[in-house]
Each structure stands twice: as C-alpha cells, then as structure tokens.
C-alpha cells in the first residue's frame, strides 16, 4: 500500500488509547505488525513533562506516528490541534477528525472538508475520518486529500461494517484512491470483510485495547487482514442464487 508517497507493508493501523498498561500496548503493536499508530495530542503543562514516557515508548517501537484530532468539534479546534501535533510529533501527517454529533461521533462532513482544505494548503498530508458518502469523498479529494478513511460503524461500537453497500460503492467509484476502514471494527472477521470488499487497510483501537487479551487480539487482526487480502487477490467465486453441485454428476451410477 502506498500513501502520500510512502510504501507500507502492513495493512493494519493501530490506535494507542485505553490499553491496560504501556507494556501491553507495546506488545500489542509488535504482535499486530502495524507500521503506523495513531496518537492523540493532549494539552499538558510543559513543566510536568506529562506524556514523555508514553512518547518514548512509541518512539522505541520504530513505527510511524499518525497524530489525530480526536475530540475536536469544530474547524478551528481541529486545525489548531493539528498544527500543535506537527510541532510535538515532528510529522505533517494527521488523521483529521471533526465530530458533528456526540452520540454517534459522526463526522461533521462540512467542517471536515473545510479543515482538510486549510490543512493541505498548510502542507499537511491529511487522513480524513469521514462517512461513506460519495459526494463528501469527492469534495475531500478536491480539497487535497490523497486517502479516505470512511467509518465502518460508530467509533468504539464494535458493530463492524454497517453499510456494506455504501462501502462497496465508494470502492467502485474511487478505484485508485487508498481507502481505509476506520472505526466500528470489533472482530477479526469484520477486518477480513473490509479487505475482501477491496479496501486497502483497516484502522482500529478499541477492538484490541479492550479485548481480554489485547496481544492475542492484535495478532488475530493481523492474520485476518492478511487472509482477507489474500482471499480478494485469489479472485473469489461469485455468489449464486441457486445451488450448484460441487460433485460432478457425469459418470454417476444410474439405478433402474
């Protein structure tokens, strides 16, 4: 997978929030094989050096950091957070979130497009958390985004792919654009299904961090994504409405 000129081997992007301990987080990242992890910027007092141990842990894993604007509900807040994250983490990559509705954490697609345009003009490489809406996707691409990250279901819900038809349509309309299912994934089978639809990668957090064994679950997701991709590349059979015998009838004995 190539995104913004960078070639990645892993199709799994992993979040770093809500793990039982730093050690479990580190082991889960290693088990997942992820090359990109998302991190949230927190406004901490500089004197306390809060978050330094976490940042050191992430740097020690040798992965690429994708800062996000999680929790931002407006364009100005999201843009400012992204600019601060660029200074703190030393990267112009940003996962852009502009939340429009508190219960579902659905993106504010109007604010998202506006913020994406501002950030790309400022030199950012934007990974927008969006819906599967085709018009919104087109506007984000026009704003300068080179990747789209539609939700599978509301963040942290674990419901999987709520709108398979919409996700399939998005893939069909933008065959050359890297697409990453972001949010709502709960099971390895959900991730495999996303890959079988033709998506390029999956981003998840809660499904691993809140599992009884996060390290084992991270490994399971890695294998599921590999299996889903391999299955798609193997050119799977088409679904049929009627049964077709798998055992040939030619040469079958006929009893009078």
The catalytic residue positions are 95
Q: Are β-strands 106-107 and 99-101 bridged in parallel, bridged antiparallel, or unpaired?
A: antiparallel
256 labelled as ligand-binding?
no
60 labelled as ligand-binding?
no
10 labelled as ligand-binding?
no
Cβ–Cβ < 8 Å for 29, 215: no
121 contact partners, CB below 8 Å, separation of at least 6 = 144
What is the token pair recorded at 52?
Answer: 């330094």
Cβ–Cβ < 8 Å for 154, 104: yes
Handedness of CA 139, 145, 11, 40 (dihedral sign): negative
**CA distances from residue 84 to 41, 76, 77 in whole angstroms, order as listed:** 8, 12, 11
CA distance 59 to 56: 5
**CA distances from residue 198 to 131, 221, 223, 227 in whole angstroms, order as listed:** 17, 17, 17, 13
231 labelled as ligand-binding?
no
206 labelled as ligand-binding?
yes
- Distant-in-sequence contacts of 56-63, Cβ < 8 A, 24+ apart: 57/22, 57/25, 57/26, 58/16, 60/26, 61/26, 61/29, 61/30, 61/37, 63/29, 63/34, 63/35, 63/36, 63/37
Which amino acids are annotated as binding site for 1-deoxy-D-xylulose 5-phosphate, given as ranges? 156, 183-184, 205-206
Which amino acids are annotated as binding site, given as ranges? 156, 183-184, 205-206
């Amino acid at each position: 997978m190539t995104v913004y000129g960078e070639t990645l081997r892993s199709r799994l992007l992993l979040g770093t929030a809500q793990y039982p301990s730093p050690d479990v987080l580190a082991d889960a990242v290693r088990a997942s094989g992820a090359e990109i992890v998302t991190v949230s910027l927190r406004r901490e007092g500089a004197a306390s050096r809060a978050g330094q141990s976490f940042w050191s842990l992430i740097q020690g894993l040798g992965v690429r950091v994708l800062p996000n604007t999680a929790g931002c509900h407006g364009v100005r807040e999201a843009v400012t957070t992204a600019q601060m994250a660029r200074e703190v983490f030393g990267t112009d990559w940003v996962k852009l979130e502009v939340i429009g509705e508190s219960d579902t954490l659905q993106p504010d697609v109007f604010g998202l497009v506006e913020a994406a345009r501002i950030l790309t003009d400022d030199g950012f490489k934007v990974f927008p958390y969006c819906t599967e809406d085709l018009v919104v996707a087109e506007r984000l691409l026009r704003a300068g985004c080179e990747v789209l990250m539609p939700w599978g279901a509301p963040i942290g819900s674990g419901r999987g792919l709520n709108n398979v038809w919409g996700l399939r349509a998005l893939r069909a309309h933008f065959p050359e654009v890297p697409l990453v299912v972001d949010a709502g994934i709960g099971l390895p089978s959900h991730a495999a299904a996303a890959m079988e639809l033709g998506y390029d990668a999956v981003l998840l957090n809660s499904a691993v961090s809140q599992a009884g064994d996060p390290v084992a679950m991270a490994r399971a997701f890695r294998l599921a994504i590999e299996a889903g991709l391999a299955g798609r590349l193997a050119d799977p059979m088409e679904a049929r409405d009627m049964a077709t015998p798998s055992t040939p009838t030619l040469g079958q004995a006929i009893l009078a």
